[in-house]
């Protein structure tokens, strides 16, 4: 009796200690968020992604993940990636959850608060990485711990990859993991950053699912000429050749080429337009075949709509000549292209040469673009995002998007893992401070992100 009673007391004490440690899901998410923000993970001597990966690993082990399922890997000791596996029933191939731990440099003197302290003020969390991408990292980590605590058995393994070098550096992150540890991160599909919620003066509008990215490619245009004395000019002048060719480029548009993602994007955006003519044009370009006069009107109305519909190439830099009194021996320009996924950089180069139409002018690649295939709009993912969005934010429209820039989704998609950028965090359309000064996320919006990710992960793994 006595021993039973003692045993009972012991259990009660253990339960009490346990519940003191395991806070509410929100408190834990906030605590993890704070810890990650306060570890400097910039690509500078003061920064260490490894320190953040280690902190995350310690939390997973404390939550009962087997140490062999929690690994730190990477070629650079300051930039280790965390890869952790939540074992499921194995009925389907894994779901990969990706967030990067590295952040863009932030200098104390440029900010009104310390970028590496989580400051809560005026309804916001301030700190470098609050939007890009430690909110997502903290959400994913906190949710795996919560699911573990709830003894949830997913129908497939969940793989968490908290990674390095998304913001630059030497490809020690997702790219390196795919090349060197493919089985560890191999999955049927991945969730990643890249699509956020958009709000306008606090009104929630759209929840983006990023399924596609444009490809960045620079070209160098060059005209060389023997030159000579400018007191005896000739018509064959390098600057004239280049400027005439650029004037032809200025008048040129690459053909409209809509994909499943951009069609659906226009179709959904149409519902949000207050201008009925714009809405009708959006529906017309989303139709098949594309209504070309509607496409022209949308292009003229907005550089953003234009960029969604076609590859763009634009002159961004010029150089030429070597003296005020000499005929130029060189005239050169940089042309920056954002190529639609599915179009080849080589074909774009060829088209540029035709448009520039000058045999004296050479066009060469600057750097090597990494082409990126769009992810097909996975119906299970779209349905899950739509129903969770409807439940959490009634009236908000889910819009698949193509990003004009690139994330790690590029490497995942090229490795054959369809990737969806969906964060569930709402940000003011005109006040997104990713990479900028006083980066911040709404307190309410951060906790919504945590809840959204929790529901989404569960929905895609049962
Ligand atoms: Zn990012």
> Does residue 315 surpass a pLDDT of 70?
yes
Residue of 235, 208, 170 whose CA lies nearest to 308:
208
Q: Report whether pLDDT(405) > 80.
A: no
Residue with tokens 């951009």: 262
**d(CA 132, ligand 1 centre) in Å:** 5
Confidence of residue 22 (pLDDT cuts 50, 70, 90): low
pTM of the model: 0.83
DSSP states of 26-55: HHHHHHHHHHHHTS--BSSTT--HHHHHHH
**pLDDT classification of 7: cutoffs 50, 70, 90:** very low
Give the architecture (CATH level 2) of 2-194+407-459: 3-Layer(aba) Sandwich (3.40)
- Among left, alpha and beta (phi > 0; psi -120 to 50; other), residue 103 is beta
- Averaged over 397-406, what is the pLDDT? 85
Å from CA of 209 to ligand 1 middle: 15
- What's the pLDDT at 9? 40
Distance between Cα 418 and ligand 1 center (Å): 18
On the question of pLDDT at 412 being above 50, the answer is yes
Task: Report the alpha-carbon distance of residue 241 to residue 333 in Å, rounded.
Answer: 12
Distance 201 CA to ligand 1 centre (A): 24
- Mean pLDDT confidence for 213-227: 94
Average pLDDT, the chain: 92
C-beta atoms surrounding 45 within 10 Å: 7
Q: How far apart are CA 132 and CA 319, in angstroms?
A: 35
Q: What is the pLDDT of residues 163-205, one digit of tens each?
A: 999 998 778 999 999 999 999 999 999 999 999 999 988 999 9
- Counting residues of the chain whose pLDDT is more than 70, the rounded percentage is 95
Every domain of the chain and the residues it spans: 2-194+407-459, 215-257+292-366
Closest CA to 308 of 282, 327, 336, 273: 282
CA of 355 to the centre of ligand 1 (A): 36
pLDDT at 451: 98
> 133 CA distance to ligand 1 centroid (A)?
5
For residue 336, the CA-to-ligand 1 centroid distance in Å is 22
Tokens at 249, concatenated: 């480029």
Q: What is the pLDDT of residues 262-301, one digit of tens each?
A: 999 999 989 888 899 999 999 999 998 999 999 999 999 9
Question: In this structure, which topology does domain 215-257+292-366 adopt according to CATH?
Answer: Alpha-Beta Plaits (3.30.70)
CA of 45 to the centre of ligand 1 (A): 20
Contact between 220 and 363 (Cβ < 8 Å): yes
State in Å: Cα 223 to ligand 1 middle: 38
pLDDT of residue 216: 86
């Amino acid at each position: 009796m006595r021993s039973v009673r003692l045993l009972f007391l012991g259990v009660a004490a253990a339960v009490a200690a346990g519940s003191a440690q395991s806070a509410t899901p929100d408190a834990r998410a906030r605590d993890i968020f704070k810890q990650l923000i306060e570890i400097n993970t910039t690509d500078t001597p003061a920064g260490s992604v490894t320190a953040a990966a280690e902190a995350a690993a310690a939390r997973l082990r404390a939550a009962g993940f087997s140490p062999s399922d929690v690994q730190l890997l990477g070629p650079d000791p300051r930039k280790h990636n965390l890869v952790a596996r939540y074992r499921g029933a194995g009925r389907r191939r894994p779901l990969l959850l990706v967030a990067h731990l590295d952040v863009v440099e932030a200098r104390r003197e440029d900010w009104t608060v310390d970028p590496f302290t989580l400051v809560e003020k005026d309804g916001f969390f301030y700190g470098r990485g609050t939007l890009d991408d430690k909110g997502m990292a903290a959400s994913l980590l906190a949710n795996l711990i919560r699911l573990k605590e709830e003894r949830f058995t997913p129908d497939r393994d969940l793989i968490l990859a908290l990674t390095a070098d998304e913001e630059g550096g030497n490809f020690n992150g997702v790219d390196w993991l795919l090349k060197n540890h493919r089985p560890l991160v191999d999955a049927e599909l991945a969730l990643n950053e890249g699509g956020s919620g958009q709000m306008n003066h606090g009104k929630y509008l759209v929840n983006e699912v990023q399924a596609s990215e444009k490809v960045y490619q620079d070209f160098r245009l060059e005209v060389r000429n023997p030159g000579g004395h400018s007191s005896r000019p000739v018509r064959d002048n390098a600057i004239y050749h280049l400027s005439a060719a650029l004037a032809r480029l200025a008048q040129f548009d690459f053909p409209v080429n809509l994909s499943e993602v951009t069609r659906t994007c226009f179709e959904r955006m149409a519902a949000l337009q207050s201008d009925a003519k714009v809405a009708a044009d959006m529906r017309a370009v989303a139709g098949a075949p594309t209504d070309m006069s509607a496409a022209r009107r949308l292009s003229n109305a907005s550089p953003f709509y234009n960029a969604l519909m076609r590859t763009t190439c634009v002159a961004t830099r010029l150089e030429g000549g070597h003296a005020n009194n000499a005929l130029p021996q060189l005239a050169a320009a940089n042309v920056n292209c954002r190529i639609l996924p599915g179009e080849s950089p080589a074909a774009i180069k060829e088209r540029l040469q035709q448009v520039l139409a000058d045999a004296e002018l050479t066009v060469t690649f600057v750097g090597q673009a990494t082409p990126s295939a769009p992810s097909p709009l996975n119906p299970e993912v779209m349905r899950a995002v739509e129903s969770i969005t409807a439940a959490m934010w009634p009236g908000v429209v889910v819009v698949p998007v193509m990003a004009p820039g690139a994330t790690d989704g590029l490497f995942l998609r090229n490795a054959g893992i369809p990737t969806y950028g969906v964060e569930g965090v709402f940000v003011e359309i005109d006040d997104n401070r990713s990479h900028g000064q006083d980066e911040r996320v709404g307190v309410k919006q951060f906790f919504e992100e945590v809840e959204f990710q929790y529901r989404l992960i569960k929905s895609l793994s049962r």
